[in-house]
Structure 1
Amino acid sequence: MGLSRERIVAAAVALADRDSMAELSMRRIAAALNVATMSLYRHVPSRDDLVIDMIDAALGELRVPPRYRGDWRADLERCARSLWEVFQRHPWLAPSMSMTRPQPAPNALRFGEWMMGALHPTGLTVTDRMLVQLLLFGFVRGVASNLEPEAEAVRDTGLTDEEWLETQSRAFERFATQHPAPHYEQLFRLDSDFEFDLGVLFEFGLARFLDGIGVWISSRR
């Protein structure tokens, strides 16, 4: 099979998924494809161009429904969950995307357009619809930006989050003794069901975000 832009992007995505974006280089991509490094530049002008193609390829996995349900909240929730799933499959993706300098990725445009369409029945102005979809994207991206550092920590230590916390229990106890914090003591010492889990944070935050937007939309009407 000949070298192509698609093969280069697929190899880059696979390497970033496995080893993180920080470990990605044109040399490593070339090695994975068993080609000379300079041959990549005949298909991908620069690393920045490659990253945009990687973002677009990953976002191409988003499951955008063929039609709306007519319930803006249900439609936005589906969008958010689909985006969260893609970020989980590609932990490098969220930190690679910009809020204020958006990369020209066609699949990002497709996704944003679908979300704005979901909000059309609310009667919000196009500016307000844009702000809502940006804030929702920003929330999901913000939580997902922790996925890659967490995965790197697991690789570096060989410990899951729960196992690492167990190894730190005595250090945390000493810290709590030196810095009294009754609310945290209540949270962690009185049989609380709290856990440091990004999935829990995503679920809680998404529900509260949609609750707030619902109140705001009702007040505008």
Structure 2
Amino acid sequence: MIAVLVVDDQRLVRAGLRMLCTAAEDMTISGEASNGVEAVSLAAELDPDVILMDLRMPGLDGIGATRQIVKSGRRARILVLTTFDDDDHLYPALAAGASGFLVKDTEPAELLGAIRRVADGDMVFSPELLRRLVDRAVIGAAAGSAVTEVVSLTERESQVLALVAEGKSNQEIGDVLHLGVTTVKTHVANLMSKTGCDNRVRLAVYHLQTRQ
């Protein structure tokens, strides 16, 4: 079971997320917090797998709470769920250590899938946000005259890399390539090892910088 901590200052939002998650057979709500201070305290007390984190809250906001939780070394992975998808919220949240970023009008099934992916070690973004992240990273690398080393990949690794760059999950990649999820995970791990990229966003950037 995936233990989820819900953090949001709006009671109705917390109630909706609780109903959504508890309806899933593989999830349970370990607790709720209405602000960042409570989130930090409950993360230490409950040790959840995933924290759904709002950003704008009174007192300690979601970015500050994310930073404290990540710095504490807790195993919980943080999925930001916010009304605001602008760069002023996206990049500080990622810098604080968030593992994903979704807006609150995300489809319920997509949100449940994102929770599962984050719990499984993925980084999760909507396709639009992923494209913005990749484009900004590529532009920054070009401005800095960074040279990306091209490494030798197998045909299957190249296929997996292209699908990672599209923002597809391990399950989605497996469905496209007719592979098991464990096999896909192995390919992704090998790609990270070969390219020196430590997450899927950097793999997407690598793909864009090196494709012919």
TM-score bracket, normalised by the shorter chain, equals under 0.3
- TM-score between both structures, scaled by the size of structure 2: 0.26
More strand by share: 2
- TM-score between both structures, scaled by the size of structure 1: 0.25
**Structure with max Cα Rg:** 1
Q: Which has the higher contact order (CA 8 A, sep 6+)?
A: 1
